[in-house]
Amino acid sequence: MEVYYIPLVVIALYYALYYFFTRNFNYWKKRNVRGPEPMALFGNLKESALRQKNIGLVMQEIYDSYPEEKVVGMFRMTTPSLLIRDLDILKHIMIKDFELFADRGQEFSKQGLGQNLFHADGDTWRALRGRFTPIFTSGKLKQMFGIMHDRADIFMDYVSKKAENNLEFEIHSLIQKYTVSVISACAFGLDLQNLDNKLEDLELIDKLVLEPNFGLEVDMMFPGLLKKLGFSLLPKPVGVFFNKLVQNVMTLRGGKPSNRNDFMDLILQLREMGNVKSANFGDMQTSLEITDDVIAAQAFVFYVAGYETSATTASYLLYQLALNQDVQDKLIAEIDEVTEAHNGQITYESLKEMKYFNKVSDETLRLYSIVEPLQRKCATDYKLPGTDITIEKGTIVLVSPRGIHHDEKYYPKPEVFDPERFSPEEVGKRHPCAYLPFGIGQRNCIGMRFGKLQTALCVTKLLRKFRIEPSKNTKQVLGVDKNRIIIGPENGIYVNFVPRK
Ligand code: HEM
């Protein structure tokens, strides 16, 4: 008899689940906000949740599908979120009304690695940003340049040896060797001499952190649940690894700054200054004790945010030089001229003088912005300027830099690589929010100057020695890796390094 109930139970369960996973899907319709039709459970992120497409491409497609809309109502899994397309609204959210949108809405813990600058929110973030901003000034970077330069020389020796046997390189993984050694040296004083021996632990960290895990989707579906349950977005071994690493470095330095002038020294100097109040970020007086856990969390985020982003930027840049030999000619001429004027040395100052390099680098990051989407959480009910729409407290708003950077309204023929888009005249004609590879506003990328510097150093050193040319494996169109949380090339980028005459 009971057996007859089984189909009924299955059907009831099916409907209950279906209801649960679609219960919010009238949310934007009720508010007259247009957007793509969501799918049960996945909302509008089915392809990224199933790892069929990088989330950056999914967001760009949503952006492209609504050219007339200022905002697009969408669903991150089952949670209503809003994609901002209009640049004036974007400016309000990211800059003018920043106080209401300071959070990213990804904080998963107030302890351990959760105290890192990227994931932290609220007072913890304010205190962290206030205290750590001084270690990214131009002056501090200049002091660190020597460490970076040594790493670049080791890298050039490595490449030159390899190039004796084979001109073709897969440049994404190649340049990662350089950025891993730079960040390891600058963030925690680790001198990786043999670039082929990327530490096994660091390989593992790469896998654990930069490959998407389903914690992200759970957090989208049930915002705040992971934090309540004490689950981390980051697997435990990551925390253990960075704590141990930082402990070792601090023990070696006797808990005091050495004379290396790396991030670890700068953080130890900050610690010696004690619990300084900082009111730089908003009205709130915030303070923060720099504990070992706080140091480990920042070492973690500087490492993870620092190496892959710059390696990807440099490899896309070299790829575009291979395809655009005229741009490369002009860039090499500039590098040679400026370097000769500095007695054949590439220095912090000489890199600053390379104006054309900056244009090439800016255009690279327009075409291939790497961190997608940008995200903020609304701290209060908020009427979007210039619309009748009020978003509720707690709503996640998203921005697609890739969508904006490929929008022909701002960049005619967006798929063409043209560094002249970044001449001062052209930049002056554009909306200030039309370019955001490093994000924008008070919560933008804290490591922007560091990232630009290590990319510039690597590329200029390479171009002093080699021309970059297409190889038989150079693709005309690059795919995007589906299995990374940031944008990067699928199956690498192949080019030839041809020694310059
Ligand atoms: C080409 C290189 C890089 C790119 C394209 C890049 C891009 C970004 C973007 C788009 C954001 C989010 C900004 C926002 O939400 O408005 C970000 C945040 C961040 N980046 Fe970078 N980044 C790069 C290099 C670096 C480096 C070298 C470091 C550290 C050494 C770093 C550390 C961080 C940190 C800590 C945050 C969080 C800042 C906060 O929330 O206060 N990044 N980055």
**Average pLDDT estimate for 394-400:** 97
Between the CA of 304 and the centroid of ligand 1 the distance, in Å, is 10
Question: For residue 414, what are the contacts with CB-CB under 8 A and spacing of at least 6?
Answer: 367, 405, 406, 407, 408
Block residue for tokens 């054309």? 356
Cα-to-centroid distance, 301 and ligand 1 (Å): 9
Whether 129 lines ligand 1, by a CB cut-off of 6 Å, is: yes
Mean pLDDT of the chain: 90
267 CB under 6 A from ligand 1? no
How confident is the model at residue 208, as a pLDDT?
Answer: 64
User: What pLDDT sits at residue 279?
Assistant: 47
Q: Is the CB of 124 under 6 A from ligand 1?
A: no
Number of residues written out for the chain? 501
Q: What pLDDT shows up at residue 113?
A: 86
Report which ligand 1 atom has the smallest distance to the Cα of 298. Answer: 35
Residue 313 in contact with ligand 1 by CB distance below 6 A: yes
Q: Does the predicted model carry a pTM greater than 0.95?
A: no
Q: Are 41 and 21 in contact (CB under 8 A)?
A: yes
**Phi and psi of 497, rounded to 5°?**
-105, 110
Q: Is 171 in the pocket of ligand 1 (CB under 6 A)?
A: no
Q: Which atom from ligand 1 is nearest to the alpha carbon of 128? A: 41
Radius of gyration of the chain (CA): 24
Of ligand 1's listed atoms, the one at least distance from the Cα of 374 is 15
Atom of ligand 1 nearest to the CA of 183: 30
Q: Cα separation of 360 and 180, whole Å?
A: 23
In sequence order, the 6+-apart residues with CB closer than 8 A to the CB of 292 are 243, 246, 247, 250
Residues 6+ apart with CB under 8 A from 221: 76, 77, 78, 79
The pLDDT assigned to 285 comes to: 47
Tell me the pLDDT band of 347, cut-offs 50, 70 and 90. very high
User: Residue 93: how many CB atoms within 10 A of its CB?
Assistant: 26
Question: Which range in 220-229, 292-301, 429-438 is most confidently predicted, on average pLDDT?
Answer: 429-438
Q: Give the closest residue to 295 by CA, choosing from 246, 234, 241, 239.
A: 246
Tell me the pLDDT tens digit for each residue of 41-81.
999 999 999 999 999 999 999 999 999 999 999 999 999 99
Q: Is the distance from CB of 104 to CB of 111 less than 8 angstroms?
A: no
The tens digit of pLDDT for each residue in 245-265 reads 888 888 888 888 888 888 888
**Does the C-beta of 43 come closer than 6 Å to ligand 1?**
no
Q: Is 179 in the pocket of ligand 1 (CB under 6 A)?
A: no
Q: Which of 95, 267, 445, 453 most suits a substitution to test ligand 1, by most atoms within 8 Å of the C-beta?
A: 445
Distance 348 CA to ligand 1 centre (A): 21
Q: How remote is the CA of residue 448 from the centroid of ligand 1, in Å? A: 6
ipTM value > 0.95? yes
Q: Under DSSP, is residue 73 helix (H, G, I), strand (E, B) or coil?
A: strand
Q: Which pLDDT score, from 0 to 100, does residue 179 have?
A: 93
Q: Whose CA is nearest to atom 27 of ligand 1?
A: 306
Give the confidence band of 198 by pLDDT, cuts at 50, 70, 90. Answer: low
**End-to-end Cα, the chain, rounded Å:** 88
CB 498 within 8 A of CB 163: no
Secondary structure element (H or E) that encloses residue 494, with its range: strand 494-499
Q: Is the pLDDT of residue 209 over 70?
A: no
The structural domains of the chain, ordered by start, are 2-499 (1.10.630.10)
pLDDT category of residue 284 using cuts at 50, 70 and 90: very low
